[in-house]
Amino acid sequence: MASERTTPRLAVLASGRGSNLQAILDAIDAGRLDARVAGVFGDRPGALALQRARDAGIPARGLRPRGFASRGDHDAALFAEVAAVEPDFIVCAGYMRLLGAAAIAPWQGRIINIHPSLLPAFKGLDTHARALEAGVGEHGASLHYVTDDLDGGPVIAQARVPVQPGDDAAGLAARVLAVEHPLMLTTLQLLCAGRIVLRDTAVEFDGVPLEAPLQLAANRLEA
Ligand code: GRF
């Protein structure tokens, strides 16, 4: 196992229930992910995600946007706190606010987001209802690098689920969430091991540019 000093440090950004954060914490505890969560940050001080962090003895900070003159000011204050824990990677796991270019720029290639759709389909909110409305046969989740193009950064990996007859948005969301967690963990393992890197706009896996996102199959990522 890597020493404390070389163990990759993660900062997690979350606004809500924090099931992805919990999956990360559980995987670290179980020795399935060689990383350390150095801090959890969000825009809603009462979020369950922040409580989960505190319960695990991890510093957590919620900064309400109200009281800041602009979105940029809020981003800057939040990211100053993020930077203070010296993360190797920033993981947006259900952080529900847009991030401005100025906040993201210093972290290019080191900030990722999980989004509940097969990007580039269904960027933005209410992805499950929109997938049902569109009548797609397949839905899922994407892990991508964050850029100032909302949900538009280079996609690293995806996990797919079938849409079944009679699905409603809640049922479909639950099916997607079940694959989001292994998608998050397997991708983080590769990132933390330095096997996935961003070069300009291309995702490289073991030094080779990906032509298409990696796909999760049986809890492993495949090209
Ligand atoms: C997930 O569906 C994620 O894809 C989306 O927000 C949700 C966060 O869930 N970005 P949780 O807070 O990790 O439970």
DSSP codes joined into one string, the chain = ---TTTSPEEEEE-SS--HHHHHHHHHHHTTSS--EEEEEEES-TT-HHHHHHHHTT--EEE--STTSSSHHHHHHHHHHHHHHT--SEEEESS--S---HHHHGGGTTSEEEEESSSTTSS-SS-HHHHHHHHT-SEEEEEEEE--SSTT-SPEEEEEEEE--TT--HHHHHHHHHHHHHHHHHHHHHHHHTT-EEEETTEEEETTEE-SS-EEEETTEEE-
39 pLDDT band, cuts 50/70/90, is very high
Q: How many Å lie between the centroid of ligand 1 and the Cα of residue 3?
A: 30
Residue 1 has pLDDT above 70, yes or no: no
Q: What percent of the chain has pLDDT over 90?
A: 95
Q: Which atom of ligand 1 is nearest to the CA of 48?
A: 12
In this prediction the pTM is: 0.96
Q: What is the pLDDT of residue 216?
A: 96
Among the listed residues 115, 128, 144, 181, the single catalytic one is: 115
Average pLDDT of the chain? 96
Q: What is the pLDDT of residue 218?
A: 84
52 pLDDT band, cuts 50/70/90, is very high
Residue 2 has pLDDT above 80, yes or no: no
Ligand 1 lined by 180 (C-beta under 6 Å)? yes
